[in-house]
Structure 1
Amino acid sequence: MRIETFVAAAAVGVMTAGSAHAQPATGTVAGKVTEVGGGAVVGASVFITGTQSGSLTRGDGGYRIALRPGRYEIRVRLVGYGLARDSVTVTAGGTVTKDFRLEKSATTLGAVAVLGSRTQERTVLDAPAPIDVLSATELRATGRVETAQMIQMIAPSFNFPRATVGDGTDHVRPATLRGLGADQVLVLINGKRRHTSALVNVNGFVGRGQAAVDLNAIPAGMIDRIEILRDGAAAQYGSDAIAGVINIILKGNAPTEFTASVGQTNTTLEGNPALPSSIQNFKKTLNDGKVFQANGTWSTDFGGAGFLALGAEYRDRGPTNRSLPDTRQQYFTGDSKNANAAAINHRQGDADTRDATAFMNYGRTLSNGAQVYSFAGIGRRDGEAAGFWRRAQDDRTVRAIYPDGFLPLITSTIWDYSGTLGVKGDVGKWKYDVSSVAGRNTFAFDIANSANVTLGAASPREFYAGTLGFTQSTTNADFSRELNIGLRKPLQLATGAEVRYERYDITEGNPDSYRDGGVRILDGPNVGRQGAVGSQVFPGFRPTDAGAHSRSNVGAYLEASNEITDRWLLSVAARAENYSDFGSTATGKVATRISLLDQVKLRGAVSTGFRAPSLHQQWFSSTATNFINGQPFDVRTLPVTDPIARALGAEDLKPENSVNWSGGFAIEPSKNFSFTADYYNIFISDRIVFSENFTGAQVSALLASKGLAGVSGGRYFTNAINTRTQGADFVANYGVTLGTLGFVRLTGAYNTTENRVTYVKPTPTALSSQSEALFGRVERGRIEVGQPRSNVMVSANLSRRALDLTLRAQRFGEVVSRGTATNGTLDNVYGAKVITDASIAYTFPRQLRLTIGADNLLDVYPGYNSALTNNGGIFPYSGGSPFGFNGRYLYARLNITR
């Protein structure tokens, strides 16, 4: 079934199932949430413990929730306030009123999380593994407009580098957790597995060789909160959860809200003092990267019987450019144009993107007490990013078309669909949750301002280069109950099964985007020689690259936990899965929490984990013509099953396996102070990486000897390395009331992570004469030192009546980009930098809030690239920078809540 059909059917089915208005077996709890000594609290989360029922308070602080008859505990939380709780008894057809008053508080350990346990909700303080709960208020306060950037500004173990001039990676940038791979963190929405992007990142940036979830395809305005489990959880949730799990909870019965923001950079770009004098004194004031964003959410509660929440977002992000003048010779020697050729002709910075997304979240309690739910989303992103400038003297330039050179562009069209339908309730003593979720992502490559050299002067300037697609559907059946087996308390037991289907497809481009048209270089010193084949900047996918591949897997898990004593919680989990393409795997986890005092908790866990090789890694295929010593070579990225890859030593991919040790503590001695510290040590074997490029005369001869003539080399994915990752997270919150001056909340967080490659698989025997190893120094450096080893963030927020002032500073540690020289002379070392953000917000009557702020207030840039590795200094900064290199960003935002 196509995903569009699935989403429509899901929505219709849910509406039909919930259309019965008779609710004789349900009652309602309603009330208002106010601040001690103040007015209504808007946007507070009201949870019914042990269920999935809940609501966000509206503009008047009110809430309403439909429940089956029974006794329930209600918890109310909002960052900046203490947790409130009480119990109510709900009767059929009746309404019980329960109001709450919240006190100002700095701690977050009282937040309730559904992540990390399938048997019961726990507060962050009581959880046996570290969990961060990021509220919508915190996310919005960052000033960022993209979901991934918002998370990075709050969660110290989360990294979101800003790749640039990286083909498709400019349009879908991968994020990481705890310094591991972008595909080693599992992303959920409302507790259900989220599909990944169709794009596999093949260029030289963090996330190379990996397919990540596109977090920016999820509209920030539709997010209630984000839960981050910073611990291995494959035994609980399956593949990909080696580094942890990110669970995005959508808004349900929430206030109607509209937000609009505008902003742009205001920065000074300066030349690198180490560069030639012609540009070392370069200085220019820039106001680019204009951003407009608008989002709105609306919901209805069906008279307390359920909710329907709708949200939409539009974001227009203009490009930025931080490239310096290109002082290289542009034209052939002797051409008079060379005298005035130096100019800014490249584009290094953010891609130009336009995003439009819409999400729906629905839930309804039926007359029999069952809860039917559905959520779905659709989004489109149009992007434009630049490649390298082709000079007029370059053999990649058709001078009859571009006499002065040209800047080729990748213009992407990315579609994302998802839909979920489920039902949960009680059968006897068991709780059940049965659901099905499907998602699809497509990435279409169109190339503009380009040419195919081998088509000569008749070459088109625009090309369709093909489309990548990925589809994933998952069906889950989860069951839980309390079981009396003679222990002090009942055993919390959960079990379930999962069936998942995945499909990865590549659609070939237009023939002109990849074919050799037979025309040789038309002019210049290399006239008559073979030119580059295919559309410049991104050759199209060929028929030999195209195809569709699928697989399925089934899994089952068992999880149990028990409070063995008043002070000791023990939890165990085991999971087994079978994949149709590589076989079976099994994982397990043991976690514990010891309460030394009511507000002092020790916690620790040991687990095994796995990550299945993605279909992208097994089947991605592309062909490009590279020139080595002036000679053209077709270098292919090959599936491991391809005969050429086999001749080069490729083997079937197998799962990555991990062993994760963690331990720490959490203390909350008062409502105004909390502190957590957690250590982790993660061993991963058989990590999947790209091999180096195997090219040259010897490789050609080897392939020809095996009957594979006409191919000059290739690369492939391989289980080539083992790694060890160890580090620690520290988080502290403190708050103090300053009387009439208001309430001050102080937050500090620190993450340190060290990655080490402990083993590299030997180069295949047939290629032992090659100068490149199977996994070389540059890629090893990307894992070991390509991300900050430390991240420190501190923030202060003053809240006084309608006024909020926020000041935040974040220190990103050193990052290194290794060069090919073994002595390190070509390495780029980018020192630690501190980024400072500031904002002021005022809430006018009728919940109208205006915020004015500055991100990177002091206009800080990362360290410079070396001229030796940067074509004479054209690109001053690295796309591996964890905070980008756009400089100061100024913004204004208007928010209206009803």
Structure 2
Amino acid sequence: MFRRSLISVAVVAAFAHTPVYAEDTTPTAQDDTRLGTVLVTGTRGKSRTVLDSPVPVDVLTAEDIKATGASNGELGQALATLLPSFNFPRQSNSGGADHVRAAQLRGMSPDQVLVLVNGKRRHTSALVNDSSKIGRGTAPVDFNSIPISAIKRIEVLRDGAGAQYGSDAIAGVINIILDDAPEGGEVSTTYGGYYTHQDAIGERTYDGQNTFTTAKAGTKLGEEGGFVRGGAEYKDRNPTNRAGFDAFDGRAEQRNYVMGDGALQDINTWFNSELPIGDAKAYAFGTYNKRHSTGAEFYRYGYEQPAIYPNGFLPQSIGDNQDISLNGGFKGMLGQQWDYDASLTHGRNIFESSTRRTLNASLGTDSPTNFDTGDYELRQSVANLDFTRELSIADRSFVLAVGGEYRYENYITNAGDAASYEGTGADGASGLRPSEESDIDRNVFGTYAEVSGDVTDRFFVDLATRWERYDDAGSKLTGKFSGRYQLTDILALRGAVSNNFRAPSLAQVGFQHTTSNFGTGGTLTDIRVLSVNDPIAKALGAEDLDPETSKNFSIGLTAKFNDNFDASLDVFRIDVKDRITLSQRIGSDAMEQYILDNFGQAGVHDVNFFTNAADTQTDGAELVLNYHQPFADGELGLTTAYTYNHTKVTSTKGTPEQLAALGIGEDALVGVEERNTLTDAAPKDRFVFSTTWSNETWNLLARLTRQGSTTRVFDFGGGDHPEQTYNAVWQVDTEVAYKFTPQFTVALGGNNIFDKYPEKSSDEINYGGNLPYDVLSPVGSNGAYYYGRATYAF
């Protein structure tokens, strides 16, 4: 089936092209294409471009991103629109994932991709997604805290790169290059909303109205190429609701649940600068994000707490997110041969969680209805010192790169207010207790060496090795060999082999939280996430986390048939050992009694904790074809891209003897739900075909996307494991832009213009009709989105 799919895509893609835009938003000649972009990601050698890179790299321009409709101002959604290998589901009723969305590259875990900004390591979120499906148990990089208007281009390396960049780069690297234009600026505003027919309730609605405004400008510093550029963004989003009528409620056609995007207000600011100082250059850049967001929880019926909420109530989660990243450094020449780059980076994320429209039942009628449920903070400071120089070996030119890195990380959690955790705790989101607070840190040292160059006129090689030591997770030596051989004037063979690793994040070591989800018989149950350092977790068999390790293999063909048509096909395998996952929900009456008897904590019936419980194997392939040519007094461009990946669990750890003694059966750590998360919950394949035509006045875009099928498996306890496979969905996006003057442009567009929804969930898993659609569907469950954008450049 996979082979037939590839053949079909190749036939369809015979006319393919990547749309290319110059800085003034008008596509121009071939020398402006991203194929000629000199890459800074994937090798520290010089002058590698997209097609002659030894590993696959995608290049996205600022105009590519803008033409996604700015994706409501969400960088993660823009990447998901443009990159078939990138998955960014819009989750709902999913705890922290309602506030910080997690992304996947090549079907791997969200924390197995390394994110860089201007080549420097980006920090992750402080919040662990403990109630989500995709990204469950991870503290991902928050892509939406990076301002879209700050971006010059994005380079996406689709290959393991731990030997070059260190921990986390198992699936690949996403390097975000900031705008460095020394003059001029832009003001842009976008307004849009969802206009859709909701089959679940038989109504046409208009909601999710979104305003997204950006402004940026730059100016020269001195006369030697210095500059400072900066800007700001503001986003205001109204909520959406795609919940169905509640079959559990006796009132006719009552919508008690919420399924969709929460309300959101978001402010982003950024700057990028460089200043020549003698023969060196000082540089600095940074981003700041402040976001207030809401999320949906599960409905509580009136008979549960009639005194305060006689008609029932729907708790709402609140997130206040602050994110800051600052970098400063110097670069220049040391002597006559060595280039150097010395930098300091500090990143910090603070997530303040709260809940409202709920109660603490144990406090009776005196219960508050709003609660602060805890704060989570991650601090990361990085010092880098990098050197590069050219070498001549056997009359061949090579580039040698060596360097070192020191990283300090600190993870801190603070308890919620007393009312949020006393007794039974706040319903829907019991607060973090003082006994569950964390303040842990670690030091990381790393050093690397890399050499690259043309061994012959046709054969390019890149060799890299890196050693890193974590004072809490041990040492790891990684290596990578990649190469490219020019078979003919048209065809080239490329490939890579490497080993990589990912140390457990401090959030995975120190995070604790209590949430609610459906348990046996579909009833709501509180589940306590335990840190592996918690005495209760230790008594139940939790062990210190080891780093994940991987072996990566890839091989591919690239072809440049002429100046207008090129193609690439890459296949890969990623074997991961000791994959870190959040265990399945573990619970029994005997365990609850054991915790009460030994730790004095009552009512702890269900828990989970982090564990190195699974080994996985991911196989995949990626096809990209590009075609462009002059057409009708403009430039016509076509793009086709297809990705396929399949993950299987090759082995799991058995149930710890401590749990077995409490009557917990087999597969307690990696049960059916967690296996589903790792293997089938995300699409195995995705296809994107887009076409553009533009001239000095018009810019037209149409994009066709096929989101592959997914499978969801649930565990409601007692052997109840409902399962459903959702069919693939096709989506069409369009945009028309008209330039009234060289400075002023207006665009109208729509995403999912044919108002496609995922297949409806079965009665077994739609919770009485309340949640009619799969919250993980890549097409989303909001329907058609339409927008208008006005841009003034100066």
Q: With structure 1 as the length reference, what TM-score do the two structures score?
A: 0.82
Give matches, 1:503-518, under 5 Å: 503-516=410-423
The match for 2:9 is none
Instruction: State how 1:270-669 maps to structure 2 within 5 Å.
Output: 270-271=199-200, 282-305=201-224, 306-329=226-249, 338=250, 340-367=251-278, 369-393=279-303, 395=304, 397=305, 399-428=306-335, 429-484=337-392, 486-516=393-423, 533-623=424-514, 635-669=527-561
- Measured in 2, the distance between the counterparts of 1:462 and 1:372 equals 48
CA distance in structure 2 between the partners assigned to 1:232 and 1:515 by the alignment? 46
CA distance in 2, matches of 1:754, 1:852: 37
Query: C-alpha separation between the residues in 1 aligned to 2:720 and 2:689?
Result: 34
CA contact (8 A) 1:818 1:824 kept: no
One-letter amino acid of the structure 2 residue matched with residue 379 of structure 1: N
For 1:537, give the aligned amino acid: G
For residues 404-426 of structure 1, the C-alpha deviation after alignment (integer angstroms, 9 at most, x for no partner) is 11111112110011100010000
1:817 corresponds to 2:712: yes
Displacement of 1:598 in angstroms is: 4.3
Give the equivalent residue in structure 1 for 2:11: none
> What is the letter of the counterpart of residue 689 of structure 1?
T
Give the distance between the partners of 1:598 and 1:467, measured in 2 at CA.
58
Q: Deviations over 1:685-741 (max 9, x none)?
A: 00000112222222235556766664545321000000000101111111122243x
CA deviations on 1:278-316 (whole Å, 9 max, x unpaired) are: xxxx41001000000000110001254300001110011
Which stretch of the first structure deviates more once superposed, 455-464 or 340-349?
Answer: 340-349
SS in 1 for 2:620: strand
- Contact 1:80/1:745 (CA < 8 Å) preserved in 2? no
What is the one-letter code of the residue matched to 1:776?
G
Q: Is the 8 A contact 2:229 2:271 kept in 1?
A: yes
In the alignment, which of 157, 176, 192 is matched to residue 120 of structure 2? 192
Query: Given that residues 96 and 132 in structure 2 are in contact (C-alpha distance below 8 angstroms), is that contact kept between their aligned partners in structure 1?
Result: no
* Cα distance change of structure 1 residues 630 and 598 upon mapping to structure 2, 3 Å threshold: closer
Please give the secondary structure, in 2, of the residue aligned with 1:501.
strand
Per-residue deviation, residues 874-893 of structure 1 (Å, max 9, x unmatched): 11111111121110001000
Matches within 5 A, 1:831-870: 831-870=727-766
Write the distance in 1 (CA, Å) between the matches of 2:58 and 2:534: 44
CA 884–873 in structure 1, closer or farther in 2 if over 3 Å, else same = same
**Deviations 1:778-809, CA, capped at 9 Å, x for gaps:** 11011110111110000111113301111111
Residue type matched to 2:435 in 1?
T
Aligned length: 764
What does the per-residue CA deviation read over 1:125-145, in whole Å, with 9 as the maximum and x for residues that have no partner?
A: 111101000000111111123
Is 1:884 matched up with 2:780? yes
Among candidates 615, 618, 633, match of residue 725 of structure 1: 618
Cα deviation, residue 896, structure 1: 1.1
Are the aligned partners of 1:647 and 1:706 in contact in 2 as well (CA < 8 Å)? no
1:863 & 1:141 partners in 2: Cα distance? 28
Distance 2:397 2:208 in 1: 57
Please say if residues 259 and 893 of structure 1, whose CA atoms lie closer than 8 Å, have aligned partners that are also in contact.
Answer: yes
The residue identity in structure 2 corresponding to 1:784 is: T
Cα separation, partners in 2 of 1:503 and 1:600, compared to 1, 3 Å: same
Residue matched to 1:334: none
Distance 1:750 1:548, change over 3 A: same
Shift of 1:562: 2.2
- Partner in structure 2 of residue 265 of structure 1: 194
Secondary structure (helix, strand or coil) at the match of 1:597 reads coil
Cα contact 1:109–1:674 (8 A) shared by 2: no
Q: What is the aligned-residue identity percentage?
A: 40
Aligned to 1:805: 700
SS of corresponding position for 1:287? strand
Mapped pair 1:689 → 2:584: no
Change (3 A) 1:692 1:425: same
Q: How big is the shift at 1:563?
A: 0.9
Cα separation, partners in 2 of 1:714 and 1:173, compared to 1, 3 Å: same
Counterpart secondary structure, 2:35 = coil
Describe the shift of the 1:895–1:324 C-alpha distance in structure 2 as closer, same or farther (beyond 3 A). same
Alpha-carbon spacing, 1:632–1:209, altered in 2? closer, same or farther (3 Å): closer
Displacement of 1:491 = 2.8
- 8 Å Cα contact 1:819/1:828 also seen in 2: no
Greater RCO between the two (CA within 8 Å, min separation 6)?
2
Q: How far apart are residue 377 of structure 1 and its match?
A: 1.5
Please report how far the alpha carbon of residue 114 of structure 1 lies from its aligned counterpart in structure 2 after TM superposition.
0.5
Query: Secondary structure of 1:456's match?
Result: helix
Separation (CA, whole Å) in 2 of partners of 1:121 and 1:192: 20
| Secondary structure class of the residue paired with 1:109 | helix
- Pair 1:444–1:677, CA change in 2 (3 A): same
Contact kept in structure 2, 1:700 and 1:712, CA below 8 Å: yes
How far the C-alpha of 1:770 sits from its partner, in A, is: 1.3
Question: C-alpha distance in 1, partners of 2:370/2:714?
Answer: 34
CA distance in 1: counterparts of 2:522 and 2:494, whole angstroms: 60
Work out whether residues 261 and 293 of structure 1, in 8 Å CA contact, stay in contact via their aligned partners in 2: yes
Aligned residue for 1:238? Answer: 166
Matches within 5 A, 1:783-798: 783-798=678-693
Alpha-carbon offset, residue 161 of structure 1: 0.5
Which amino acid is 1:664 matched to? G
Larger Rg, first or second structure (1 or 2)? 1
CA distance in 1, matches of 2:403, 2:30: 32
Partner amino acid for 2:43?
A: S
Q: In 2 relative to 1, CA 649–290 (structure 1 residues): closer, same or farther, beyond 3 Å?
A: same
Question: Partner letter of residue 707 of structure 2?
Answer: F
Pairs within 5 Å for 1:40-119: 44=22, 80-82=27-29, 84=31, 108-119=34-45
Matched residue, 1:155: 83
Aligned to 1:53: none
Structure 2 gaps, min length 5: 1-19
Which of residues 775, 781, 792 in structure 1 aligns to 2:676? 781
Residue by residue, what CA displacement relative to the aligned partner does 1:481-517 show, whole Å, maximum 9, x if unpaired? 1123x4231331111000000011111111001101x
Unaligned runs of 5+ in 1: 1-41, 45-56, 60-77, 85-101, 272-281, 330-337, 517-532
Distance of 2:471 and 2:600 partners within structure 1: 30
Distance 2:520 2:288 in 1: 44
User: Residue 488 of structure 1 contacts residue 565 of structure 1 at CA under 8 Å; is this kept in 2?
Assistant: no
Q: Is the 8 A contact 2:680 2:711 kept in 1?
A: yes
Confirm or deny: 8 A CA contact 1:487 1:564 kept in the other structure: no
Conservation of the 8 A alpha-carbon contact between 1:328 and 1:342: no
Match in the other structure for 1:893: 789
Question: What is the rounded CA distance, in whole Å, between the counterparts of 2:432 and 2:523 in structure 1?
Answer: 22
Partner in structure 1 of residue 66 of structure 2: 140
Q: Structure 1 residues 625, 663: CA separation in 2 closer, same or farther (over 3 Å shift)?
A: closer
User: 8 Å contact 1:439–1:473 — kept in the other structure?
Assistant: yes
Partners of 1:226 and 1:112 in 2: CA distance: 12
Q: Distance in 2 between matches of 1:846 and 1:781?
A: 52
Give, in whole Å, the separation in 1 of the partners of 2:524 and 2:299.
Answer: 20
Q: 1:851 to 1:713 in 2, by over 3 A?
A: closer
- Whether 1:770 aligns to 2:664 is yes
The 3 A distance-change label for structure 1 pair 371 and 130 is same
**TM-score normalised according to structure 2 size:** 0.93
Structure 2 counterpart of 1:92: none
The residue type equivalent to 1:817 in the other structure is R
**Does structure 1 retain, via aligned residues, the 8 Å contact 2:45–2:453?**
no
